Structure 1
Amino acid sequence: MDMLQNNQLEIRHISPEVRQLIKMYADVNSCTQSEMLERIILEWNAQQSESERPPGDEDE
Structure 2
Amino acid sequence: MKSGEVTFSFACLITFWLCEAAEIEPLVTAALVGISGHMGSRALYQFERWAQTRLDNATT
- TM-score, L = length of structure 1: 0.44
Rg larger in structure: 1
- TM-score, L = length of structure 2: 0.44
